Structure formats: C-alpha cells, structure tokens
C-alpha cells in the first residue's frame, strides 16, 4: 500500500462536512459529523487502524446481514428463501411502495427494513427477548469481543419512540400474513437489534469472518458454514448500500453494508474485513466520507471483485 491508512483517512476527512446527520432518530442527530475512522483486518489476522476507529456507534442496518445469518443458521437457505426474496428493490431502505401488486415474501429483501423485520420472525426462540439475546450472542461471537458489542439504550428508546414508519411496514407485513406474531414484539426485537453498538474494530472482525468463508481470522475457527457466508456476501454485493448499491459496486466493488449510524462494514473476499465510521450521511443514507474512503481503499489495494 503506497499510501498509509492514516493518510487516506486524513485525505477523506474533508468529506465529512458534506454529509448530514439523520434527523428522524433524535439520538443519532447528536453525533459528531467530523468523525472518521477505519479498521482493516486481514484474513491472516493483521490489523490496521486509523482516525476515530475506536468510537462506539450503533450499527443500525449493519445488523441486517447478522439477522440473515441467524435466520440461515436456524432454518437453512431453502426456508429463508421461501420467506424473503433476494432481488434488489431499487427503493429507499424504508420504502413502503415496493410493488403495485399484492405484497408477497419474494418482494422483500433482507437488507431493507421491511425484509429485515420479516427476518426477525424467522429467528428461533420462546420469546422475542430470547430471539434478540441469540442475535446479540451471534454478533459477539462474530466480533470476537463481548466488551465491544453492547446495546445503546438511548438509541433503542429513541428509535422505538420515533418508529412510526417501521410500524407501518410491520403492520403491512402482518396484513399480508408475512409475519404472524405480535407486531410490537417483532418491532421491539428489531429496534433493539439496530441499537447494537460497536466500533470500527468490531465491524472489521465481523466483515473478516464473511471474507474468510465463515472462519475466524487468524485461528481459522469455523463460526458459520461457508455457504451461508457466500449467501450473505452475494446479497450485500447487490443490495447492501440501499438504492446506491449499483453505483457503489462500480466505484468500490466489494460486498458491504451501511447503516444510518454512520458505519460501513465491507468484505474483501479472501483478503480482509473493513470497518468504517463517519456519521454524516449522503442522500441515500450511506456514510458520505466513509464511502469516499472505501473508494480510495479499493483503488489503492485493488479490492474490487469485478
């Protein structure tokens, strides 16, 4: 790498001034838009970090691939695919008008809110509290450090108090029989999931497990079956950056998932996992400076899979 990670973070920090903090979740609006940090973890265990890499933030939609992994572990690919589709929607992450036809499960994508809410109902457990605990345990297993993975209760309460659109999505799912459980129970699991917090290091570790065919970086310990890691990576490639996924594929070219908390988890298959944080967002809901940094990293390290 001709340019250091520290230099790349410094070069991209001016982009933090061009984004906006999300206003519809009050707890996220309190963030510092000048933050930018990154962590790279190679599949053989080498670590690089720079900038505000150790600042904790809520992962928001970055929990969606973990939700999908938990559903795959509990049910297998065929059952999951019978409940949610895999096609990109071309719509914003919180869109309601997915189709002018009758809504069915194949209209849902697990990387947007409606699909992720449906996926919550596929996680096994005697209660939704137990389902969330199992999801949190999986997140901690993938990240490798329990202390880095906590729930931000302020963010959870803020999302729950301001989640009218997600409630509309969930009740629409209930109307069409796609979820059968109590809507508020499902949503409580989803709001808690989005409030899981970590730093760039946690995201890099999770991304590296996906990059390493489900194995822990360094040790090679198998955490999830390789076919499930490939399944998740394929969906991240086409759908992980909301309705900016196509442009991201052209500019960066790796599986990735963003969240409105400002995080991006990127996967360079066979090479590394990347965690980035910068809370100021572009109009699509992706970290603006974070995306620019990933574009620079992809160019410098030849990361694109295309």
User: 5-59+198-301 and 61-194 share one CATH topology?
Assistant: yes
Q: Active site includes 64?
A: yes
Among residues 98, 128, 190, 228, the one annotated as catalytic is: 190
pLDDT at 1: 61
Report the pLDDT value the prediction gives residue 154, as an integer from 0 to 100.
Answer: 96
pLDDT of 211 above 90: yes
Average pLDDT, integer, range 121-126 = 96
Active site (annotated) includes residue 190: yes
Q: What is the pLDDT at residue 2?
A: 76
242 is catalytic: yes
pLDDT in tens, 27-48: 999 999 999 999 999 999 999 9
Q: Is the pLDDT of residue 191 over 70?
A: yes
Q: Where do the structural domains in the chain lie, given as residue ranges? A: 5-59+198-301, 61-194
- Which residue is catalytic, options 42, 58, 61, 278? 61
pLDDT, tens digit, 9 for 90 and up, residues 138-170: 999 999 876 689 999 999 999 999 999 999 999
- For the chain, the DSSP string reads --S-HHHHHHHHGGGGGG-B--SSSHHHHTS-TT--EEEEEETTS-EEEEESTT--EE-GGGGHHHHHHHHHHHH-HHHHHHHS--S---S-TT-S---SS---GGG--TTSHHHHHHHHTTS--SSHHHHHHHHHHHHHHHHS-GGG-EE-HHHHHHHHHT-HHHHHHHHHHHHTTS--S-HHHHHHHHHHHHTEEE-HHHHHHHHHHHHTTTBPTTT--B-S-HHHHHHHHHHHHHHTTGGGHHHHHHHT-S-EEE-TTSEEEEEETTTEEEEEE---B-TTSSBHHHHHHHHHHHHHHT----
* Percent of the chain's residues with pLDDT above 90: 84
Q: What is the pLDDT of residue 33?
A: 96
CATH number of this structure's domain 5-59+198-301: 3.40.710.10
Fold topology of 61-194: Beta-lactamase (3.40.710)
**pLDDT for the residue 108:** 85
Concerning whether 171 is annotated as a catalytic residue, the answer is no
Q: Catalytic: 9?
A: no
**Of the listed 9, 42, 58, 64, which one is catalytic?**
64
């Amino acid at each position: 790498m001709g340019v250091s990670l520290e230099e790349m973070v410094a070069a991209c920090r001016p982009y933090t001034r061009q984004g906006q903090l999300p206003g519809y979740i009050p707890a996220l609006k309190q963030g510092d838009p000048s933050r930018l940090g990154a962590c790279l973890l190679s599949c053989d265990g080498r670590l690089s970090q720079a900038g505000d890499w150790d600042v904790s933030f809520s992962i928001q939609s970055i929990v969606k691939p973990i939700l999908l992994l938990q559903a795959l572990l509990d049910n297998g690919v065929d059952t999951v695919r019978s409940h949610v589709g895999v096609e990109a929607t071309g719509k914003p992450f919180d869109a309601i008008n997915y189709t002018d036809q009758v809504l069915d499960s194949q209209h849902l994508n697990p990387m947007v809110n409606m699909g992720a809410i449906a996926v919550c109902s596929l996680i096994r457990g005697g209660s939704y509290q137990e389902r969330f605990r199992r999801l949190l345990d999986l997140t901690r297993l993938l990240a490798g450090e329990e202390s880095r993975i906590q729930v931000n209760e302020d963010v959870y309460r803020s999302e729950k108090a301001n989640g009218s659109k997600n409630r509309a999505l969930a009740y629409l799912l209930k109307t069409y029989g796609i979820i059968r459980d109590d809507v508020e129970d499902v949503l409580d699991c989803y709001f808690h999931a989005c409030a899981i917090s970590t730093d760039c290091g946690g995201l890099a570790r999770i991304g590296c497990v996906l990059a390493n065919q489900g194995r822990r970086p360094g040790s090679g310990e198998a955490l999830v079956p390789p076919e499930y890691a490939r399944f998740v990576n394929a969906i991240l490639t086409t759908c992980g950056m909301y309705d900016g996924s196509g442009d991201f594929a052209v500019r960066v070219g790796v599986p990735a998932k963003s969240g409105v908390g400002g995080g991006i988890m990127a996967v360079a298959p066979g090479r590394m996992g990347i965690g980035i944080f910068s809370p100021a967002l572009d109009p699509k809901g992706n970290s603006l400076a974070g995306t620019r940094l990933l574009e620079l990293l992809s160019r410098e390290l030849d990361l694109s899979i295309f």
